[in-house]
Amino acid sequence: MPRPIEALIHTDALAHNLARARAAAPDAKVWAVVKANAYGHGIERVFEGLRGADGFALLDLAEAERIRACGWRGPVLLLEGAFEPRDLELCSRLDLWHVVHCSEQIDWLAAHKTHQPQRVFLKLNSGMNRLGFAPMAFRSAWARLNALPQVDEISLMTHFSDADGERGIGHQVAAFEAATRDLPGERSLANSAAILRHRLRSDWVRAGIMGYGSAPDFPAHDIAHWDLQPTMTLRSRLIGTQSLQAGESVGYGSHFTADGPLRIGIVACGYADGYPRHCPTGTPVLVSGVRTRTLGRVSMDMLAVDLTPKPDAGIGSDVTLWGRGPKDSLLPIDDVAHAAGTIGYELMCALAARVPVHVAP
């Protein structure tokens, strides 16, 4: 018998969420962002659900090769561009578009021998201060690129730091407009939070987390508010039960102590599966589709849950750590991430390699 934990990927939910991105940005082409192995889902596993996108944006050549191996012939964008000069050879071979965010990447292009000019996305640092040319340097970077025979079309992009929060995007949009005024080329600005919250017009939007059924601005809004569906379910089963008396505690460090008789279940899921160890007592979990809470510390292979709301649960009962539960029950990954003091992105990406992952039928 394999250990009962598994993750399921929901193709219908991926397609639904992509349609939500299209509806929120009706005039734009949509990049489905599949970096970090499709936010932990597996590039090959999400391909079917996201193949309605206009292109796939991702991180590196290995991911680009995988999306081409899925049979995708359309646009593929390397979001951080080349990491070294020889990456440009594969860009030519696989027909990849790539971000140019620093002058070294322009030097590499200038030295690149190719018969096929490459499409690039020139990135402005409009305030995030991660990657991109400073506004003062942007036009000269554009002019250098424009003079290169190795370069085909030049698109213009930036990335928002606060699309999900109070500060918003106004200051970055203003910086982008000032730096790009009168420059030709398609524009790409919005991530999920900007797509949903700011409805900014641009030629290409970059839909990442919303595609995977997590609200980019949780807890201000949840997936029900944005009409998104969970695309990953992590589920397992009870492999033990215990009956505690008042004063008895649970797990390492005795972090939870019962104040009265309490029946608990032991779930085959722990931090070595990617479930956060720092989830405190009270983190939501479903047992047979009924919402309850975790108790005490998460251990490597197990965690404990309160069976009070589901007294008939026993060994073999279904446990949903996040995603879709039985009988139309649902536990958004954002609820779990919030309890753990993190975001849905991190939980998806951290799903451990030992967890078997299947595309749901």
Pairwise CA distance, residues 132 & 122, whole Å: 8
HSE (side-chain half, CA atoms, 13 Å) at 156: 25
Residues 175, 126: Cα–Cα separation, whole Å: 6
Q: Closest approach of Cβ 184 to ligand PLP, in Å?
A: 22
Token pair of 109 as six digits: 């292009």
Q: Which two tokens stand for residue 266?
A: 């032991």
192 interacts with ligand PLP by CB under 6 A: yes
Is the backbone of residue 76 left (phi > 0), alpha (psi -120 to 50) or beta? beta
CB of 332 to ligand PLP, least distance (A): 16
Contact region with ligand PLP (CB under 6 A), list: 105-113, 172-180, 201-209, 318-326: 201-209
Catalytic residues: 35, 252
Q: Which stretch binds ligand PLP (CB under 6 A): 208-216, 219-227, 309-317, 322-330?
A: 208-216
Q: How does 282-312 read in b/e, with b if 16+ C-beta sit within 10 Å?
A: ebbbbbbbbbbbbbbbbbebbbbbbbeebee
Residue with nearest beta carbon to ligand PLP:
208
Q: Which stretch binds ligand PLP (CB under 6 A): 190-198, 222-230, 255-263, 275-283?
A: 190-198
Contact positions with ligand PLP (CB under 6 A) in 302-331 = none
Judged by CB under 6 A, does residue 77 bind ligand PLP? no
| Span 136-175, contacts to ligand PLP by CB under 6 A | 159
Tokens of 344: 């849905």
Told to check if 28 binds ligand PLP by CB under 6 A, we report no
Query: Per rule CB under 6 A, is residue 132 in the interface with ligand PLP?
Result: no
216 binds ligand PLP (CB under 6 A): yes
Phi, psi (rounded to 5 degrees) for 97: -90, 150
| 151-158 vs 187-188, strand pairing mode | parallel
Interface with ligand PLP (CB under 6 A), residue total 12
Going by their DSSP bridges, the two strands 76-78 and 55-58 should be labelled as parallel
Output the six-digit token pair for 86: 């020889």
Min CB(217)–ligand PLP separation in Å: 10
Residue 208 interacts with ligand PLP (CB under 6 A): yes or no: yes
Pick 7 or 210: Cβ nearer ligand PLP: 210
- The residue ranges that bind ligand PLP (CB under 6 A) are 33, 79, 159, 191-193, 206-210, 216
